[in-house]
């Protein structure tokens, strides 16, 4: 397994739309393992392949306290969504920035696991939010895209300044 570099906003590669996984090869299993290791090390609770510059429809999530409940969603699609929840979100691609985002409170998702076996899962609360957040990445959407234009400009400016300062160091 290997730690993968995480793209940071406003990197244009975060806007790329991910392609479906059509073959469940050892490379996909390695990607899932590397993504999980990267997510845990960051530390985070979710990671989309887009964030590590792999434009395939793959996400990993673990919202458990002890990091013992890794969930893998390949080619995920939300087949039901209802209710509404507004909560503070952060993102490994937008470090040190948090803001409120409106999401569905309950989702039912259909996906495949790392072996290609289809499954359905109902989720509420943090898991539902995390699924929607990571699925947005697969569509080229970063959580700040849900914010006002003014907030988007502020975040973009902050991140550009951060990257400039890191490059000087």
**Which residues are annotated as catalytic?**
134
Residues paired with residue 55 on neighbouring β-strands, in sequence order: none
Max CA separation in the chain (angstroms):
47
* Rounded CA separation 154/147 (Å): 11
- What DSSP character marks residue 83? S
Peptide bond into 11 cis (omega under 30): no
Peptide bond into 130 cis (omega under 30): no
- What pairing do the DSSP bridges indicate for beta strands 58-61 and 106-112? unpaired
């Amino acid at each position: 397994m290997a730690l993968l570099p995480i793209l940071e906003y406003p990197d244009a590669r975060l806007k790329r739309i991910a392609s479906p996984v059509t073959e469940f090869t050892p490379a996909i299993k390695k990607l899932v393992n590397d993504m999980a290791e990267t997510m845990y090390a960051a530390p985070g609770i979710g990671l989309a392949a887009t964030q590590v510059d792999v434009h395939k429809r793959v996400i990993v999530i673990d919202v458990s306290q002890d990091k013992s409940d890794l969930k893998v969603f390949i080619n995920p699609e939300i087949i039901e969504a209802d209710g509404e929840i507004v909560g503070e979100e952060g993102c490994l691609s937008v470090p040190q920035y948090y803001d409120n985002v409106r999401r569905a409170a309950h989702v039912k998702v259909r996906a495949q696991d790392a072996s290609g076996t289809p499954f359905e899962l109902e989720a509420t609360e943090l898991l539902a939010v995390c699924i929607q957040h990571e699925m947005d990445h697969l569509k080229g959407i970063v959580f700040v895209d849900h914010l006002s234009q003014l907030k988007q400009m502020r975040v973009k400016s902050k991140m550009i300044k951060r990257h400039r300062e890191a490059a000087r160091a």
